[in-house]
Amino acid sequence: MWILRLNMTDLKCTVEEAPPAYQTLAGRALTSTLVSDEVPPLCHPLGPNNKLVFSPGIATGTNASTSSRISVGAKSPLTGGIKESNAGSSWASDLARMQIKALVVEGKPKETGKRRGASVTWDAAAGKPKVEFFDAAEYAGKDLYDVYPKIYERFGGKISIAGCGVAGEHGYGNAGVVFNDLSKRPSRYAGRGGLGSVMGSKGLKFIVLNASGAPGVSIANKELFDEGRKKLTESLLTHDITKPKGALNTYGTAVLINILNEAGGLPTRNFSSGRFEGAAKIAGEAIFEGNKQRLGKELYNHACSPGCTIQCSNTWYNADGTERASCVEYESDWALGANCGIDNLDDIATMIKLCNGYGLDTIETGATLGVAMEAGVIPFGDGKGAINLIHELGKGSPLGRTLGGGTGFAGKAYGVVRVPAVKGQGMPAYEPRAVKGMGITYATSTMGADHTAGYTVAPEILGVMGKQDPLLAEGKVALSRAFQATTAFIDSTGHCLFIAFAILDIASGYQGMIDECNGVLGTKWTADDAYAYGVEVLKKERAFNEAAGLSKEADRVPEFMKVEPLPPHNQVFDVPDSDLDSVYGGL
């Protein structure tokens, strides 16, 4: 297994054998370990000492279902702390098939404004990967929907692409790293934390992979791996949320719009209410029925990456049957919809495609637009005005750069008090005053406000593992802590977080995931070992953040959530600071 290093200062690459200490680390565990080991916590995120780390998960590159996830790590320009963001793409599988355990981008060009690409292929004679750099100046400053087809034309149809858009070139706090989907669109994002700007700061525009001839993933115990894969797959194919033509395959993740709206936990108009009167117009059901009307047939969803059985990625079509955008996920739908008071799916889909093309995280962009609307830059509900603001981001205008700084930055620029962010990162689509466990995760996560860091919505809203009252704070510290540790392990396996719906209800599925990892690595992990693995990841991340200046005082929700009752339940976030401090104290 290899550690591949791309030095952007001298355009040199090194291929190193992974040290024994990294043998069982992959995905988030490895990105966070490498960042902790090699990045000075007080360095500037866009300076020469930060590093951008890519790592496929333990099971990535195998035929395990939903395992084609890539973790991306660095010090975040948005939070100032450690960051891991992940995405589903063939890029992840291709990296794993070349037996690259981690790809590390380091250094910074001596000349500013230089844009390079890196082509990674398998050198069969040498038995290891090789890299060639290429001039990427012709692709700079352009819409990724125009650029990706040219990259495929240049390097062939069997490649996979990771890149950054103009948002990364501009150094925005809301710039993501973009990967291709299975239809070669630039639409699969490791969006959170501004990691696209870390890539852009290093003058690296694209990393192109061609895994042809690569040896594939070595599996230590094939029989155990296959047994685990079968158990996990069976759980995914039978659970109501993850099965074919189940909730996610039919309505996509946007099925949550109506569910959270009914629960009073759908943040609306910059987190001023938990219900949106236009929710039904933008929900997953509306997407399904709208496509049926426009296409004249029922359209079920597709996979974002190879081997996914859940297949929750959708496409929204125009009235004439042409594609408008893919994918209209729940978070994007909410951020650019309910959070901005916009109930027009065509406008929301247009904004999603613009964000994809410019290299923007839709969550951070929508949260920032909500703050700008609060400030009166444009009115809530102004879909066309919101589209124009995203164009300003793409242009790099003074207004666009203000918005590109992210939710917390825009709040300071406009003097807004209601700023829904933790550690500078905008909150996703669950109101902490109405879903208390998620509020604890937002406050205490090493990643800033991040729903994927500890998704307590599963029990609090969806009843996975047994229904818990989302309005009650009691018991939620332990719940969030458990979910954060378990998630850190799942993020390291290379599996999509959505497997949690099935495996938390079906014990054999959970054991199947662990046995897949045991099969690949030759380990003998139990469920307790998996949890302990996740705890160790969290401890490393926590230590980095503390060294970077993010102490327990940063683990707080915004003050307005503690004093402003949220309609319709008129709740405040009433979890004591001492309880928040105990989340990591209990690890």
392 and 328 in a common domain = yes
**CATH number, domain with residue 308:** 1.10.569.10
Q: Are residues 294 and 367 in the same domain?
A: yes
Mean per-residue pLDDT for 236-261?
A: 96
Is 234 a domain residue?
no
- The answer for residues whose C-beta is within 8 angstroms of residue 475's C-beta and 6 or more apart is 468
Q: pLDDT band at 112, cuts 50/70/90?
A: confident
Q: What is the mean pLDDT of residues 124-136?
A: 97
Containing structural domain, residue 42: 2-210
Same domain, 345 and 453: no
Nearest CA to 398 out of 378, 383, 413, 380 is that of 413
Supply the pLDDT for residue 567. Answer: 98
380 has a pLDDT exceeding 90: yes
Question: Would you state the structure tokens that stand for residue 328, as one six-digit string?
Answer: 């209209």
Tell me if 197 is assigned to some domain. yes
Asked if residue 300 is part of any domain, the answer here is yes
**Chosen domain end from 431, 447, 466:** 431
Which of 156, 191, 210 terminates a domain? The answer is: 210
pLDDT, tens digit (0-9, with 9 covering 90-100), for 301-352 = 999 999 999 999 999 999 999 999 999 999 999 999 999 999 999 999 999 9
pTM given for the model: 0.98
Cβ burial 32-44 (10 Å sphere, 16+ → b, else e): bbbbbeebebeee
Bridge partners of 134?
A: 117
Domain of residue 185, CATH code: 3.60.9.10
110 and 64 in a common domain: yes
Between CA 415 and CA 324 the distance in angstroms is: 35
In this structure, the answer to whether residues 424 and 438 fall within a common structural domain is: no
Does position 586 have pLDDT exceeding 80, yes or no? no
314, 413: one domain: yes
Reply yes or no on whether the pLDDT at 391 is more than 90: yes
Residue 221 domain-assigned? Answer: no
The overall average pLDDT reported for the chain is 97
Looking at the structure, do residues 253 and 109 belong to the same domain, yes or no?
A: no
Over residues 436-461, the mean pLDDT reads 97
Are 132 and 203 in the same domain? yes
* 146/256 same-domain check: no
Average pLDDT over residues 547-569: 97
Answer whether residue 237 is part of any domain.
Answer: no
pLDDT band at 93; cut points 50, 70, 90: very high
Total tally of structural domains belonging to the chain: 3
- Asked whether residue 52 is domain-assigned, the answer is yes
Do 444 and 427 share a structural domain?
Answer: no
Dig out the tokens for 437 from the structure: 């466990």
Residues 360, 395 share a domain: yes
Q: Please check whether residue 241 lies inside any domain of the structure.
A: no
Which of 407, 431, 455 represents a domain boundary (last residue)?
Answer: 431
353, 447: one domain:
no
Per-residue pLDDT of 153-174, as tens digits, reads: 999 999 999 999 999 999 999 9
